[in-house]
Amino acid sequence: MDAETAHSATITALRLGLAPEQTHPDGAELKSSFCGIDLSNPIGMAAGFDKNAEVPRPLARLGFGLVEIGTVTPRPQSGNPKPRLFRVFPSEGVVNRMGFNNEGHEAAFARLKGLRVPAALGVNIGANKDSEDFVADYVLGVERFADLADYLTVNVSSPNTPGLRNLQADEALRRLLGEVLAARAKANTRVPVLLKIAPDLDEAALDAIAAVVLATDLDGLIVSNTTITRDGVAGQTNASETGGLSGKPLFNLSTQKLAQVRQRVGDLPIIGVGGIHSAQSAVAKFEAGANAIQLYSAMVFGGLELLDTIKRGMVAAVRAEGKTNISQLVGTKTADWASGKISL
């Protein structure tokens, strides 16, 4: 089945209640707190899966501790021409150039208003491709969803909207975060705001981002989005397609960047995302410095049952280390991951 058709079918199945539901409570080893939000477990569905807030409740009932919808933009947009989603089978990777296709703020707001989601609900906000002022679009996102979301994610790291990644640069980032956080203050809410960054930033760029972030009251970071590099997949079917690469091939790069960011931002909460495909890789994200994690692409290959497999493996890993909670593993191998001494 075509990749995007398969994705739509999965959304439909979840919406119709055809997906399994978790029947047992999460182990105490997985209970967590992130940005002041209590979580039954620190594993989230990453943005990009449920772009239009169609199935946040079924995803939570499947067993995710966090569910992040979006990316949503102020106005509906169709995204890039199809085909725009490709599986890289040999390495369990995915290339996408979706282009923030979504139904817009109002459609997502209507679905979320009054909805009880038994997990932390994140709303990932972005900018319309044809906007004259990207920053203004993010402000609109804060204004629209600040009262509905448990946290907001400012997504400036998609490679599929021309010019968007430029907002990660020093002065542009200062203006963006300044206006976004001012909008939150004006909304009279303390909803946590996170910034999602790219894995393709060098250490000088990470220095600059850390300096800007630490000078604000931003609540946390998500490391990372997809990569425009093709290390390890060159020559494989679909690997040369334009877009961002996610899935297993992204794991080492995104985890090294996560550790390097952790070294720069102290105790600032971080969600680690990128290439998680097993319990071992999930645990490695925490050891590199993540406080919570998200996955998506691996489920294309591993199915919805992968979530339970990862949870059971994480509990076993915590016990094997003689610990009682996954939080006790956070940052235990940051230096080794940051320097490249460790890889999976």
Looking up residue 172, the CATH number of its domain turns out to be 3.20.20.70
The answer to the question of residue 30 being in a domain is no
pLDDT digits (tens, 9 = 90+) for 228-238: 999 999 999 99
The answer to the question of residue 25 being in a domain is no
Task: Tell me the C-alpha distance between 255 and 40, whole Å.
Answer: 24
pLDDT digits (tens, 9 = 90+) for 26-83: 999 999 999 999 999 999 999 999 999 999 999 999 999 999 999 999 999 999 999 9
Write down the pLDDT at residue 88.
Answer: 97
Catalytic site residue from 32, 40, 158, 224 = 158
The answer to the question of residue 278 being in a domain is yes
The answer to the question of residue 20 being in a domain is no
Task: Tell me the C-alpha distance between 185 and 14, whole Å.
Answer: 36
The answer to the question of residue 54 being in a domain is yes
Write down the pLDDT at residue 1.
Answer: 87
Task: Tell me the C-alpha distance between 341 and 311, whole Å.
Answer: 26
Q: What pTM value is reported for the model?
A: 0.98
pLDDT digits (tens, 9 = 90+) for 182-203: 999 999 999 999 999 999 999 9
pLDDT at residue 286 above 90?
yes
Would strands 244-247 and 93-96 be described as parallel, antiparallel, or unpaired? Answer: antiparallel
On average, the pLDDT of the chain sits at: 97
The answer to the question of residue 15 being in a domain is no
Task: Tell me the C-alpha distance between 254 and 93, whole Å.
Answer: 14
Q: Are 150 and 124 in contact (CB under 8 A)?
A: no
Domain that holds residue 140: 3-7+36-339
The answer to the question of residue 28 being in a domain is no
The residue whose two tokens read 């933009």 is: 73
The answer to the question of residue 82 being in a domain is yes
Task: Establish whether 281 is a catalytic residue.
Answer: no
Count of domains for the chain = 1
What is the number of residues in the chain?
Answer: 344
29: three-class secondary structure by DSSP: helix
